[in-house]
Amino acid sequence: MALPTHISAPSANSTSRVPVYALVGNPNCGKSTLFNALTGLKQKVGNYPGVTVEKKVGTTYSQHGQPITVIDLPGAYSLAARSPDEAVTRDVLLGRRSDTAQPDRILCIVDATNLERNLYLVHQILDLGRPVILVLNMMDLAAQAGLRLRLNRLEHELGIPVIACEAANGKGIIELRLAMSRTDLPLSRHAWNVPAPIASAVTELQASLIAHDRKAPLIARAEALLLLTDQDSVRVAGSTPLDPRTAEILRGWEKRWEGEGTDWAGTLVNSRYEAIGRLAAEVVLPSATTGPTTSDRIDAVVTHPVWGWLVLGLVMLLLFLSIFTLAEYPMNWIDGRVAALANWVKAGMAPGDLRDLITDGAIAGVGGVLIFLPQILILFFFIGLLESTGYMARAAFIMDRLMSRVGLNGKSFIPLLSSYACAIPGIMATRTIEDPKDRLVTILVAPLMSCSARLPVYLLMIAALVPGDRVPLLTKVGIMLLMYALGTVGAFGFAWLFKRTLLKGAPPLMIMELPPYRLPLFRDVALHMVERAGLFLRRAGTVILGISIVLWFLAAYPKAPADATPTQQLAQSFAGRAGHLLEPVIRPLGFDWQIGIGLITSFAAREVFVSTMGVVFNAESSDNDTKPLRQAMLAARWPDGRMLFTPLTCITLMIFYVFAMQCMSTIAVVKRETNGWKWPVFQTVYMTGTAWVLSLIVYQAGRGLGF
């Protein structure tokens, strides 16, 4: 690849401060791939304070080894934001965020196969008056599509460096690094005439932004233009509010145009597109080839009304099989290591509360999180793979029809799917949903999808319900699938209900780009997987660790006499007393105080129910071999001699676990994602309330029918 003419060696008087580049582009233009190619493993993922948008910052090096900071801003189609992600991109670029300094320079990445659409954002960014480098990514795909791009012409017209690049193959990265190393990056020569009907408004707003909001003249002009196309101005926490005087001018103009019937926003967008159209006509020599591309041919099958469902079904089947079979080996290994560590501590320390706190509280608590790591990794590997190939958007497309029946759109599919493994990554994945109401509904119903922590509880109850030697495997699988189906139907039912009552909104207007199919980039998938797993461990691990220690305390105090068995100790502990207190509430569901203890300890993680039952009934067992526990449970009796774990109680308990919100980590994540306690409290109440009511109906109806 020839070196563009503008790239020259940087001058010696480089500044001592590390320069900051913001990386911006449309979704699906290869932005993350370029960020990974530039920064490798030197990345830090955090959050913009107050908003649930990820802040990705990395370090790259200039040609002389000087560090350069790169902020990877969320993908955006326009600076007129429609989602919190886009609002963060806009606010960082405009210098509106107090937590992030305005970047010195901007790297604009565009998809070379779709230059015209991508140039819209570039056009807005050039208005900001910052040095910009334009990266034309996917040049190989553009060549395959028969497009010829006159880069020199584009560089000449815009007056900024234009770098041809294939980020996926590492081509163009050196040239980009050289351009980034320049100290004398030129400002764009680009100019466009603001349409006459709104030019006066832009001038007046710009003057007010300079005078009252203390903006630099060029930024003020860009912001004035933006204010006219961004009526709703998605303001997120951390963005500085507009000065009241500027806001008043804006309102005045809006009122005036409304009276005159001027569509100011449409006029501005169309005027930009006209300017871009003229530029594109100079730069893009149209393709001579016609006919369907490879992507079109794959789409003919994958988005087909019948075959599309079949393909989606197969992909889901493969995903679930991997999560539940492949993960088993590393999960057993982790389980073994955690137990070995606890034993090692036990062997090395004198018996006492401190030893118990470390082994039963801290190690058991951290182990309780670590054990889910293989499933989370597999889930994110698949999600990364599906995103990297471009299939994910097709899955959302296929599911949109089903989702729209309950008032959601296809974008809610991924979060709900992820929630089958764990609600935490599922809830984190709702960030891509633009509509705040749709996002909230998805968060509220996501924990109803049966997560993998419920699996040990289902397995134990099924084992108690239908002894292995007498009942075919198919019946057990059938009961299991029934529980999964119940959760899924519950999630869709509540989504339907919330969208019609509490979070009533217009029918979702989804518009989503389907990127061309690509071969997956395993490096990007692996990075994504490791990054997600790290977030999961940090967020859930800290909460579970804390709660586990609290629960250990509740089960260990007050102390029983020294000769008491663990069962007696638990019975008279705070947890045991809480179980007794809870009994009047859960007795109508067929649960006694001993099950009550399990319901309480399940708040650490649902699968803790199994180990709690082990302690309650004094039976040594593991998740894989529940036979001793099963026998102990079947021997358990009410004080009047009736069996405690009747088949009806087992079914009722499973139904309770399908619906009840019993996960502190999920509550903590929902609190974080919704910025307050209102929604996690509501979610806990509605889910646990539903669980109670449904369990009551099932148990009492079952009793009435003679079960």
Partner 1 sequence: MPRVSHSSNATPLSLCQLPAGAVGRVCELIGDIQFCQRVREMGFGESTFVTKVSGTGTILCQVNGTRIALSHGAAKNILVEQLARR
451/62 Cα distance (integer angstroms): 46
Mapping DSSP onto H, E and C, the string for 119-161 reads HHHHHHHHCCCCCEEEEEECHHHHHHCCCEECHHHHHHHHCCC
**Alpha carbon separation from 100 to 201, 467, 517 (Å, rounded):** 29, 60, 35
Please list every residue from 642 through 661 that binds partner 1, using CB under 8 A: none
Asked whether position 273 contacts partner 1 by CB under 8 A, the answer is yes
Using the structure block, give the residue that is written with the tokens 């920064």: 39
Please list every residue from 569 through 608 that binds partner 1, using CB under 8 A: none
Complex with partner 1: residue 116 or 157, whichever CB lies closer? 116
Q: Which stretch binds partner 1 (CB under 8 A): 171-179, 509-517, 540-548, 613-621?
A: 509-517
Nearest approach, Cβ of residue 120 and partner 1 (Å): 6
Size of the site for partner 1 (CB under 8 A): 42
Q: Which stretch binds partner 1 (CB under 8 A): 45-53, 102-110, 261-269, 366-374?
A: 261-269
Nearest approach, Cβ of residue 303 and partner 1 (Å): 6
Where does residue 636 rank: exposed (0-12), middle (13-18), buried (19+ CB within 10 A)? middle
Complex with partner 1: residue 120 or 659, whichever CB lies closer? 120
Beta carbons within 10 angstroms of residue 33's beta carbon: 24
**Alpha carbon separation from 597 to 70, 200, 456, 661 (Å, rounded):** 51, 70, 17, 16
Strand partners, 107: 23, 133
From 232, 469, 563, 620, residue interacting with partner 1 (rule: CB under 8 A): 232
Nearest approach, Cβ of residue 119 and partner 1 (Å): 10
**DSSP letter string over 304-343?**
STTHHHHHHHHHHHHHHHIIIIITHHHHHHHHHHHHHHHH
Nearest approach, Cβ of residue 78 and partner 1 (Å): 4
From 91, 175, 213, 299, residue interacting with partner 1 (rule: CB under 8 A): 299
Complex with partner 1: residue 26 or 602, whichever CB lies closer? 26
Complex with partner 1: residue 144 or 568, whichever CB lies closer? 144
Complex with partner 1: residue 300 or 340, whichever CB lies closer? 300
Residues 515-544, mask of contacts with partner 1 (x by CB under 8 A): -x----------------------------
Complex with partner 1: residue 289 or 624, whichever CB lies closer? 289
Nearest to 163, CA basis, from 174, 542, 436, 706? 174
Asked whether position 508 contacts partner 1 by CB under 8 A, the answer is yes
236/202 Cα distance (integer angstroms): 24
Nearest approach, Cβ of residue 434 and partner 1 (Å): 9
Nearest approach, Cβ of residue 343 and partner 1 (Å): 54
Peptide bond into 351 cis (omega under 30): no
Complex with partner 1: residue 305 or 704, whichever CB lies closer? 305
**Alpha carbon separation from 169 to 138, 224, 613 (Å, rounded):** 9, 40, 54
Residues 58-87, mask of contacts with partner 1 (x by CB under 8 A): -------------------xx-x-x-----
Please list every residue from 368 through 397 that binds partner 1, using CB under 8 A: 393, 396-397
Q: Which stretch binds partner 1 (CB under 8 A): 2-10, 66-74, 125-133, 513-521?
A: 513-521
Complex with partner 1: residue 82 or 212, whichever CB lies closer? 82
Strand partners, 149: 284
Beta carbons within 10 angstroms of residue 568's beta carbon: 14
Q: Which stretch binds partner 1 (CB under 8 A): 9-17, 505-513, 532-540, 642-650?
A: 505-513
Please list every residue from 305 through 364 that binds partner 1, using CB under 8 A: 305
452/460 Cα distance (integer angstroms): 14
Please, what is the Cα angle at 594 between 590 and 599, to 5 degrees?
80
Q: Which stretch binds partner 1 (CB under 8 A): 50-58, 205-213, 401-409, 453-461?
A: 401-409
Asked whether position 507 contacts partner 1 by CB under 8 A, the answer is yes
Please list every residue from 143 through 172 that binds partner 1, using CB under 8 A: 145
Asked whether position 288 contacts partner 1 by CB under 8 A, the answer is no
Complex with partner 1: residue 307 or 638, whichever CB lies closer? 307
Nearest approach, Cβ of residue 286 and partner 1 (Å): 9
Nearest approach, Cβ of residue 98 and partner 1 (Å): 27
Asked whether position 412 contacts partner 1 by CB under 8 A, the answer is no
Reported residue count of the chain is 707
Complex with partner 1: residue 435 or 607, whichever CB lies closer? 435
From 303, 432, 572, 631, residue interacting with partner 1 (rule: CB under 8 A): 303
Complex with partner 1: residue 305 or 706, whichever CB lies closer? 305
Strand 43-47 to strand 162-164: parallel, antiparallel, or no bridges (unpaired)? unpaired
**DSSP letter string over 60-108?**
EE-TTS-EEEEEEPPP-S-SS-SSHHHHHHHHHHTT-BTTSPPPSEEEE
From 510, 629, 632, 698, residue interacting with partner 1 (rule: CB under 8 A): 510
Nearest approach, Cβ of residue 514 and partner 1 (Å): 4
**Alpha carbon separation from 281 to 88, 149, 241, 277 (Å, rounded):** 32, 10, 40, 6
- The token pair that represents 382 in the structure block: 């698949």
Complex with partner 1: residue 286 or 588, whichever CB lies closer? 286
Complex with partner 1: residue 117 or 346, whichever CB lies closer? 117
Asked whether position 497 contacts partner 1 by CB under 8 A, the answer is no
From 241, 252, 266, 588, residue interacting with partner 1 (rule: CB under 8 A): 266
Buried b (16+ CB within 10 A) or exposed e, 571-605: bbbebbebbeebeeebeebbbbbbbbbbbbbbbbb
Query: CB–CB of 413/392 below 8 Å?
Result: no
86/83 Cα distance (integer angstroms): 5
Mapping DSSP onto H, E and C, the string for 210-279 reads HHCCCCCHHHHHHHHHHHHHCCCCCCCCCECCCCHHHHHHHHHHHHHHHHHCCCHHHHHHHHHHHHHHHH
Nearest to 529, CA basis, from 411, 421, 400, 442? 421
556/542 Cα distance (integer angstroms): 21
Complex with partner 1: residue 289 or 325, whichever CB lies closer? 289
Strand 67-72 to strand 54-61: parallel, antiparallel, or no bridges (unpaired)? antiparallel
Asked whether position 120 contacts partner 1 by CB under 8 A, the answer is yes
Complex with partner 1: residue 358 or 408, whichever CB lies closer? 408
Where does residue 679 rank: exposed (0-12), middle (13-18), buried (19+ CB within 10 A)? middle
Q: Provide the binding-site residues for partner 1, judged by CB under 8 A.
A: 77-78, 80, 82, 113-114, 116-117, 120, 145, 229, 231-232, 265-266, 269-270, 273, 290, 295, 299, 303-305, 393, 396-397, 400-401, 404, 409-410, 506-514, 516
